[in-house]
Amino acid sequence: MDNWDEIRTAYNVARIGTVSGAAEVLGVHHATVIRHIDALEERLGVKLFQRHARGYTPTEAGEDLLRVAQATDDQFSQLAGRIKGRGNDVSGELVVTTLGGLSHLLVPVLADFQKEHPEIVVRFLTGERLFRLEYGEAHVAVRAGSPPDQPDNVVQPFHKQRITLFASEDYAEKRGLPSDVSDYHKHSFVSADDPKSRAPFAKWLRETVPESCITFRTGDVHAMRRAIREGAGIGFMSRLQAAEIGGLIEVTEPREEWSAPLWLVTHMDLHRTTKVQSFLAFLKDRARAWEDL
């Protein structure tokens, strides 16, 4: 496109509102910005901006140009994010995203993978937001619950966490343990502070245990595990997490409906890259040891 530089200049003027601001972002002289705008308006035969003392305001035609240029800029950013993950070397950034509650599983794996590939820079992103793989925001996502259904993603079953109720040894010594569900009303429970949580075990707890017995609530999964360990009450966690924490007693056998399936998600454009395939193979190998719990 012969006039792409002019369009990119106009886009930045419309986005920022001043010639000087656009010139700074583009790394050009302000006279170049003005020349690009004048040339583009002459070529199109329409005014793209209203000039005034405070800067430049897009006309209706300028707004149309801004929308097209914004879409083009987004597509370039998306392409750049995917290109970063390509290549034959296991080097550069490896961006992995998941829920914060799974950090105990993934951080040791990421640390060991980095030891084997010292040229890797790990970025481990956690939170409730779904990072957009199609925009190159992450190379690998580990997601829980129902199978992700975003288009253009490769989804693989990964691991099923066996989740059940645990109490600390200190809690058991002071309060005893329930023999079955009929005893639960005599005990204290630790739970997530989310009355609408879709986690099967959280829903079961809300429906089974009297609300007055849920005496410790938190929105932080790490705080919830620590509260169970400190004897604040009985609560849910995975067998693997309980084994790592230590000092906990399993209150009841895990139920299938409490289990939390995990999924590996990659974008189709990055799935076959050497870096992503190397990490996926490493992660799956390490996960085999988790199946015993």
Percentage with pLDDT > 90 across the chain: 50
Separation of alpha carbons 122 and 140, rounded Å: 12
Domain 92-161+260-290 carries which CATH code?
3.40.190.10
Per-residue tokens: 21: 């601001």
**Do the Cβ atoms of 145 and 261 come closer than 8 Å?**
yes
| Interacting residues of 34 by C-beta distance below 8 A, sequence separation 6+ | 19
pTM: 0.66
Whether 120 and 150 have beta carbons less than 8 Å apart is answered as: no
Name the more confident of 155 and 15.
Answer: 155
User: DSSP states of 26-80 as a string?
Assistant: HTS-HHHHHHHHHHHHHHHTS--EEEETTEEEE-HHHHHHHHHHHHHHHHHHHHH
Supply the pLDDT for residue 168. Answer: 98
CA distance 94 to 140: 8
Q: In whole angstroms, what is the distance from residue 291 CA to residue 282 CA? A: 16
Structure tokens at 29: 């002289």
Per the CB < 8 A criterion, the answer to whether 114 and 122 are in contact is yes
**Do residues 162 and 187 make contact, with C-beta atoms less than 8 angstroms apart?**
no
Mean pLDDT of 130-139: 85
Write the CATH number of the domain with boundaries 163-258: 3.40.190.10
Res 2: pLDDT? 53
Answer yes or no: same fold for 4-84 and 92-161+260-290. no
**Spatial separation of the C-alpha atoms in residues 243 and 164, rounded to whole Å:** 12
Let me know if 126 is exposed, middle or buried by CB neighbors in 10 A (0-12, 13-18, 19+).
Answer: middle
pLDDT at 205 over 60: yes
Domain ranges of the chain: 4-84, 92-161+260-290, 163-258
- The pLDDT confidence band at residue 197, using thresholds 50, 70 and 90, is confident
Question: Which class is domain 4-84?
Answer: mainly alpha
At 292, is the secondary structure helix, strand, or coil? helix
Q: What is the 3-state secondary structure (H, E, C) of 105-129?
A: HHHHHHHHHHHHCCCEEEEEEECCC
pLDDT digits (tens, 9 = 90+) for 233-261: 999 999 999 999 999 999 999 999 998 88
Nearest to 277 by CA among 20, 10, 89: 89
pLDDT of residue 75: 65
Phi-psi region of 120 (alpha: psi -120 to 50; beta: other; left: phi over 0): beta
